């Protein structure tokens, strides 16, 4: 067994985790207005100073919303502000890919299917159900939403032409993988909030899961960059290669090292050096010390340059092999990673291949740098980085 390295806790300031803007779209709200829901500790002066460019904001907001005592506004009070008054403008989240059944919740209790190219705003509530989908935000950041997830947009704003954005996503349950574009200024913010804790980042790649139950639990695994994870009980600074767990009502636990990426077995490496002409293709990897299980994912790559990909299959395995059934023609990427006894999912072993007609494939193994690349003949090539 290999001992696990524990990182020393660090402080990470998470400012305004519970500040929420809701884009007007419900009954009684005009299309040219925003609605701001007051939270405990909020003041009208801070609201105006932070978000409003309109002169005499403090007085105008009070008059427009018929606030008799602007110094005493109850939490939960909704204030309606014209979009023209704001320093920021609303942004959208766009669906790049979708696989399986995913839906948008409507105000009347019904649902609409989510399709590629759809755009969503603050307040929209999305359910992946048995499917998955990939979202892109105003700054190019992406969020892969896995099956069984419940996602709501708390804030989607763009600070004019500065390139700064404020993106805050509520993950009530399920699993997501975020790839965040490096921020272009101090005003940028990207947060994923769960019932147990919140993760705040500025340019990184990480995974978040939120489990329901008597005590909600959040798990955050950092693959690149760093993430601040915190709640009212405390905060942790998490570097790449580490993960943290947080339970609602308890302080975030110290970071723990992720398990390393699995290595393919020598016989698979040897097989991949020659032409493979038929399915199923059996892939196997060496066991990882301290691993209780493995996550196996297959993505079809729709646009390598833009990073558009759909999750077409995933499985949690207790064995170290998987048979891949016949796939349709196209470019694919596979991730395999180890899962430890705490449920943390480790570093990915990533390899890509193209399925040619009728069953020929070309495979390469490497990290995210490999897309795009040029496929040659049906000869199967294998590279390890």
Model confidence at 195, pLDDT cuts 50, 70, 90, reads very high
pLDDT, position 186? 52
Candidate CATH numbers 3.10.350.10, 3.90.1150.10, 3.40.640.10, 3.40.50.720; the one for domain 21-85: 3.10.350.10
Evaluate if residue 9 carries a pLDDT over 50: no
pLDDT, position 279? 77
Q: Domain locations in the chain?
A: 21-85, 90-257, 266-370
Higher-pLDDT residue of 352 and 56 is 56
Evaluate if residue 168 carries a pLDDT over 90: yes
Cα separation, 217 vs 194, whole angstroms: 8
Evaluate if residue 314 carries a pLDDT over 90: yes
Evaluate if residue 272 carries a pLDDT over 90: no
In contact, 201 and 226? CB cutoff 8 Å: yes
Which structure tokens are listed for 366? 């490497």
In contact, 155 and 122? CB cutoff 8 Å: yes
Evaluate if residue 283 carries a pLDDT over 80: yes
Average pLDDT in the 59-71 region? 91
Question: At the top level of CATH, which class does the domain 90-257 belong to?
Answer: mainly beta
Residue owning tokens 């196997």: 284
pLDDT, position 6? 40
Share of the chain above pLDDT 90, in %: 55
Dihedral of alpha carbons 367, 369, 372, 378, sign: negative
In DSSP terms, 173 is beta-bridged to 150
Higher-pLDDT residue of 95 and 212 is 95
Q: Do 90-257 and 266-370 show the same overall fold? A: no
- The pair phi, psi for residue 7, each rounded to 5°, is -85, 145
Higher-pLDDT residue of 9 and 363 is 363
Interstrand relation of 165-179 and 189-193 (parallel, antiparallel or unpaired): parallel
In contact, 340 and 259? CB cutoff 8 Å: yes
pLDDT, position 274? 56
Cα separation, 169 vs 135, whole angstroms: 12
Higher-pLDDT residue of 191 and 279 is 191
Model confidence at 162, pLDDT cuts 50, 70, 90, reads low
272 closest CA partner among 351, 374, 382: 382
Give the single-character DSSP code of 42.
Answer: -
Query: How many Cα atoms occupy the beta-carbon half-sphere of 39 within 13 Å?
Result: 10
In contact, 208 and 246? CB cutoff 8 Å: no
- What pLDDT digit, counting tens, does each position of 201-249 carry? 978 999 999 998 899 999 999 999 999 999 999 999 999 999 999 999 9
Cα torsion through 360, 366, 368, 370, rounded to 10: -60
Per-chain mean pLDDT for the chain: 83
**If one looks up domain 266-370 in CATH, what number appears?**
2.60.40.10
Average pLDDT in the 109-118 region? 95
Evaluate if residue 354 carries a pLDDT over 90: no
pLDDT, position 337? 98
126 closest CA partner among 146, 141, 140, 96: 146
pTM (2 d.p.): 0.74
Least confident of 30-44, 123-137, 160-174: 30-44
pLDDT, position 257? 98
Model confidence at 361, pLDDT cuts 50, 70, 90, reads low
pLDDT, position 378? 32
Average pLDDT in the 284-288 region? 96
Q: Crossing angle, helix 44-51 and helix 57-64, to 10 degrees?
A: 110
128 closest CA partner among 158, 152, 148: 148
Cα separation, 27 vs 317, whole angstroms: 47
Query: What residues contact 208, with CB distance under 8 A and at least 6 apart?
Result: 171, 175, 176, 178, 192, 194, 199, 218, 219, 220, 221
Evaluate if residue 271 carries a pLDDT over 70: no
322 closest CA partner among 288, 290, 341, 298: 298
- The pair phi, psi for residue 188, each rounded to 5°, is -70, 145
Cα separation, 17 vs 209, whole angstroms: 18
User: Would you give the distance in Å from CA 19 to the centre of its chain?
Assistant: 19
pLDDT, position 17? 34
Higher-pLDDT residue of 61 and 41 is 61
Q: Is 172 helix (H, G, I), strand (E, B) or coil?
A: strand
In contact, 156 and 91? CB cutoff 8 Å: yes
């Amino acid at each position: 067994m290999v001992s696990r390295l524990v990182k020393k806790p660090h402080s990470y300031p998470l400012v305004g985790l519970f500040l929420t803007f809701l884009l007007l779209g419900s009954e009684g709200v005009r299309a040219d207005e925003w609605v701001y829901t007051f939270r405990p500790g909020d003041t009208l002066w801070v609201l105006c100073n932070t978000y409003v460019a309109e002169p005499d904001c403090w007085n105008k907001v009070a008059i427009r919303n018929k606030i008799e005592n602007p110094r005493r506004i109850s939490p939960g009070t909704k204030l309606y502000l014209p979009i023209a008054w704001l320093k920021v403008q609303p942004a959208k989240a766009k669906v790049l890919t979708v696989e399986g059944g995913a839906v948008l919740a409507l105000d009347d209790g019904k649902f609409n299917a989510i399709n590629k190219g759809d755009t969503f705003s603050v307040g929209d509530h999305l359910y992946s159900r048995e499917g998955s989908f990939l979202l892109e935000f105003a700054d190019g950041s992406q969020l892969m939403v896995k099956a069984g997830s419940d996602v709501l947009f708390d804030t989607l704003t763009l600070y004019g032409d500065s390139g700064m954005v404020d993106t805050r996503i509520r993950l009530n349950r399920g699993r997501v993988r975020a790839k965040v574009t490096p921020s272009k200024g101090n005003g940028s913010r990207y947060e994923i909030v769960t019932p147990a804790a919140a993760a705040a980042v500025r340019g990184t790649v990480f995974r978040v899961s939120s489990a329901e139950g008597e005590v909600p639990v959040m798990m955050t695994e950092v693959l690149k960059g760093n993430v601040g994870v915190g709640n009212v009980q405390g905060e942790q600074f998490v570097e790449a290669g580490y993960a943290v767990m947080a339970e609602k009502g308890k302080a975030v636990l110290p970071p723990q090292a992720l398990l390393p990426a699995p290595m393919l077995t020598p016989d698979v490496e040897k097989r991949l050096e020659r032409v493979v002409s038929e399915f199923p293709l059996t892939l196997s990897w060496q066991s990882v010390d301290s691993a209780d299980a493995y996550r196996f994912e297959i993505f079809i790559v729709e646009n390598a340059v833009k990073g558009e990909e759909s999750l077409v299959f995933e499985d949690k395995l207790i064995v170290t092999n998987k048979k891949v059934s016949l796939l349709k023609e196209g470019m694919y990427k596979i991730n395999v990673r180890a899962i430890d006894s705490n449920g943390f999912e480790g570093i990915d072993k990533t390899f890509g291949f193209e399925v040619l007609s009728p069953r020929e494939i070309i495979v390469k193994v490497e990290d995210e740098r490999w897309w795009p690349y040029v496929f040659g003949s049906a000869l199967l090539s294998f590279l390890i980085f």
